[in-house]
Amino acid sequence: MRKKAIVTGGNGQDGSYLTKLLLSKGYNVYCIVRPTTRDYLNNHQYLNIKENKNLKYIDLSITEYFNLQEIIESIKPDEIYNLAGQTYVYDSFTNPLHTVHTNSIPVLYFLEIIRKLDKKIKFYQASSSEMYGNNKNIPLNESSTLMPASPYAVSKVFSHQMVINYRESYNMFCSNGILFNHESPIRGINFVTRKVTKAFARIKLNKQKDLTLGNILSERDWGHAEDYVQAIWKILQQKKPSDFVIATGKKYSVKDMVDYVASLTDIKLKWSKNSKGYWNGVDQKTKKILVKTSNKNFRPNDVICLLGDSSKARKQLKWKPKYNFRSMIKQMLQEDLKREAK
Ligand code: GDP
C-alpha cells in the first residue's frame, strides 16, 4: 500500500520540494493549497511535478476547522506536514493578527483533529530559528532558550510548544523541525537572498539600476530548501517523535552575501556610509551606486544573528546537506539570469 501524506503550503518553496521528494519515495501526496494561490503552481512546474498522477490538489484554507477535519477524515493520511503559514517576518509586524490566525491556531486544529480521529497519524510542524530571537548563546540547538522577537516568531513559539504539549500529554507522534533560513531558486522574492540574486541578474542584463536593502549587517545560517526537506521527511520516519534543529552551522552577513552575488556578475563593490549613516555599495569600475540601504527596509525589531547547531539531526537522522552557501547562491543567480533573459 502506498503511504498517504498531506502537505499544507504545498505550493510554497518547502511544500514543493517536499512534495517532489515524497512522490519520488512512492507516496500519494495531497497538497493543500489556499484557494487564492491555486493558480500559482509555478513552483510545481519548475520542479516538474505538476502533472504527476499521484499528486492531488485540495483548495482549502487551513483556518477552516470543519473543512480540515472532513478532509483528514476522508484521506486518512499516514503523515501530515504542516508547512503553510504567513512566513515573512517583516509582514508579521504590519499584520500580526493574520500571522497568528494562520501560523498558530491551525496547528491546534491539526493536533485536536488527530487526537480525536487517529493518534497514529504522524504530524510535522514547521518551527523556525526565528523563535530564538536575539539569544546570544550561539550556535543554537534544541535546548537553547526561545526569545521570539517578532509576531511571526511568537506565533511559531505557540505552535512549537503546543506540539510538545500534545506529544507529552497524549503520546502522539508529533515533531517540530526547527529550520534555519533555507533558500532556493524558488524562494519568495521578498526574502533577502532571492531579492539580491534577482536584482543582480537584472542589473547584469541592464533591466534595473540599483537595489535597496535594510540591515545588511545581520547574519544568517543559510541552507538549501532541497536539503532541508530531506530532514523534514526523516524526522517523521524516526521510531520516536522529537524536535530537531536543521542548519548548516555556518553564518554570513547580508553584506557578505551581496558581495558574493556581485562577484558572480563580475562586479566588485566598495562599501561606505553616507552622512545619514546608511550604507552604499559602489561598483568599483563604473563608480555607480548599485546597493543602497534605507529605513523603510528595517524592521521594528530585527534578529541580528542566527547560527544553528544541527549535531542532533546529523547523528540521529544521519542528515547532511549537499549544498553549501556558495553552490546555493550560484544556482539561485543562474536561475534568475535565465528567467530574466527571457
Ligand atoms: P528572515 O530571517 O526569515 O527574516 O529572512 P529574510 O531573508 O527576510 O531576512 C534575513 C535578514 O536580512 C534579516 O535580518 C533582514 O533584516 C535582513 N535584510 C536586510 N535587507 C533586507 C531586505 O531588503 N529584505 C529582507 N527580506 N531582508 C533584509
Reply yes or no: is the peptide bond before residue 139 cis, omega within 30 of 0. yes
What pLDDT sits at residue 309?
Answer: 98
The position carrying cell 490566525 is 101
What residue owns the CA closest to ligand 1's atom 14? 218
Specify the DSSP element, H or E, that contains 233. Answer: helix 225-236
What residue owns the CA closest to ligand 1's atom 13? 218
What pLDDT sits at residue 38?
Answer: 58
Distance CA 338, CA 342 (A): 7
Q: Is the pLDDT of residue 300 over 80?
A: yes
Q: Is the CB of 27 under 6 A from ligand 1?
A: no
Q: Is the pLDDT of residue 107 over 70?
A: yes
Q: Is the CB of 4 under 6 A from ligand 1?
A: no
Q: Is the CB of 257 under 6 A from ligand 1?
A: no
Distances in whole angstroms, Cα of residue 309 to Cα of each of 22, 134, 284? 26, 16, 37
Averaged over 127-140, what is the pLDDT? 97
Q: Ligand 1, residue 190: give the atom nearest the CA.
A: 26
Report the range of poorest mean pLDDT among 37-51, 79-93, 104-118, 214-228. 37-51
What domains can be seen in the chain, in order of their start residue?
4-184+223-249+305-322 (3.40.50.720), 192-217+253-302+337-341 (3.90.25.10)
Q: Is the CB of 254 under 6 A from ligand 1?
A: yes
With residues binned 3-state (H G I as helix, E B as strand, rest as coil), the percentages for the chain, rounded to 5, are 40, 20, 40
Q: What percent of the chain has pLDDT over 90?
A: 96
What pLDDT sits at residue 34?
Answer: 85
Q: Is the CB of 190 under 6 A from ligand 1?
A: yes
Distances in whole angstroms, Cα of residue 96 to Cα of each of 89, 99, 100? 10, 5, 6
What pLDDT sits at residue 37?
Answer: 65
Closest CA to 82 of 162, 201, 25, 136: 162
Could you report the per-residue pLDDT of 277-294, keeping only the tens digit for each? 999 999 999 999 999 999
Q: Is the CB of 305 under 6 A from ligand 1?
A: no
Return all residues near 96 (Cβ < 8 A) that are at least 6 apart: 151
Read off the pTM: 0.97
What residue owns the CA closest to ligand 1's atom 10? 192
* Distance from residue 160's CA to the centre of ligand 1 (Å): 22
Quick one: angle between helices 151-170 and 105-117, nearest 10?
A: 20
Q: Is the pLDDT of residue 39 over 70?
A: no
Averaged over 317-331, what is the pLDDT? 98
Q: Ligand 1, residue 128: give the atom nearest the CA.
A: 3
Q: Is the pLDDT of residue 124 over 70?
A: yes
Look up residue 78 and give its DSSP letter: S
Mean pLDDT of the chain: 96
Burial class (CB in 10 A: 0-12, 13-18, 19+), 283: middle
Specify the DSSP element, H or E, that contains 81. Answer: strand 79-82
What residue owns the CA closest to ligand 1's atom 20? 214
Could you report the per-residue pLDDT of 229-270, keeping only the tens digit for each? 999 999 999 999 999 999 999 999 999 999 999 999 999 999
* Distance from residue 166's CA to the centre of ligand 1 (Å): 32
* Distance from residue 260's CA to the centre of ligand 1 (Å): 16
- Answer with the residue of higher pLDDT: 40 or 98: 98
Averaged over 286-308, what is the pLDDT? 95
